[in-house]
Chains A and B, each alone.
Chain A
Amino acid sequence: MPYVRFIDRPTFRNPWAEFERIRQGLDELSRSYFEKGEGQSRANVYPALNIYEEADRLIVTAELPWVKAADLDLSIEGDTLTIQGKRERKPDESGVSYHRREIETGSFSRAIALPVKVDAEQVGARLANGMLTITLMKASAVTPRQIQVATE
């Protein structure tokens, strides 16, 4: 006769508990994914850009410390904006020993497709305190137009 000792039995568990745990894990995963990225992918192409949209214009901003205006090259072709440039450090003096070297130097090139058609004639760019601000006016065809409603 089989003899089952009480302590040999596995403790009773809710069979659905494991499913519940998995569901919670998935919820958490999707939440952190959507909240953090908000559907936007972090580009690994320098520079990182923020783009704002107003009714009549697009504003593109980028952090470009240590980049001189002369070393920056902006061009627009169709609805593709290209930002090119380089960042160089001063040549090292002799007898310099580095404790930390976190700032990278090099060249960069980024092309971005703009979401709307822009007027290539009206582009303003400003580089101040290491911040680049490009203002692009939308092409007149896509600018919202106020329509006067006539009353009878």
Chain B
Amino acid sequence: MTAQELKVQDKKAAQPGGETTKNEACFAPRVDIYETEREVTVVAEMPGVTVGGLDLSLEDNILTIKGRRVVQEQPGRIILAEYENGNYLRRFTVAETIDQENIGAALADGVLTVHLPKAIPAQPRKIAVKLG
């Protein structure tokens, strides 16, 4: 049981490459990144994003996580505003060599989990020499 009391963490604005034409807020999702012997796992908090709004890419060792929220009409008049709605964007440079074929991602409860398996370095092949 965790005794720690959760606090509201301020959302950090993300910097897209260049300004966007749409006046939409864009936030950097909070992440956990951990590594095991076999893979690197990125866990990102993206509440409000559905699978359809997700855009993941790994290009030149840069992992880009983009999440578009389902735009829904604001119901009625806002009387208390403590958080802002917005899209998510964050980029990471992945230092490890990643096996691009086996990248897996899952989205559950507003949390995205990306598994980046490490590429197995090519084993030097031993050539047995038989005596003739």
Which listed residue (A55, A62, A65, A96) contacts B45, Cβ 8 A? Answer: A65
Q: Is A144 positioned at the interface, with any CB of B under 8 Å from its CB?
A: no
Q: Are A104 and B6 touching (Cβ within 8 A)?
A: yes
Considering the complex, give the chain A residue whose CB is closest to the CB of B113: A90
Choose among B36, B77, B80 the residue with the greatest number of A CB atoms under 10 Å from its CB. Answer: B80
CB within 8 Å: A-B pair count: 139
A88-B2, A106-B3 are contacts. A96–B49 as well, Cβ < 8 Å?
Answer: no
| Majority DSSP secondary structure for residues of A touching B | loop
Interface size class of B (residues with CB under 8 A): 35 or more
Docked Cα-Cα span, A4 to B23, in Å, equals: 61
Binding site for B on A (CB under 8 A): 38, 40, 42-55, 57, 59, 62-68, 86-89, 92-93, 95-108, 115, 129-131
Show 17 residue pairs from A and B whose CB-CB distance is below 8 angstroms, ordered by the A residue.
A40-B81, A40-B82, A42-B8, A49-B80, A49-B82, A53-B76, A86-B2, A88-B2, A97-B34, A99-B40, A100-B31, A103-B31, A104-B9, A105-B2, A107-B5, A130-B45, A130-B48
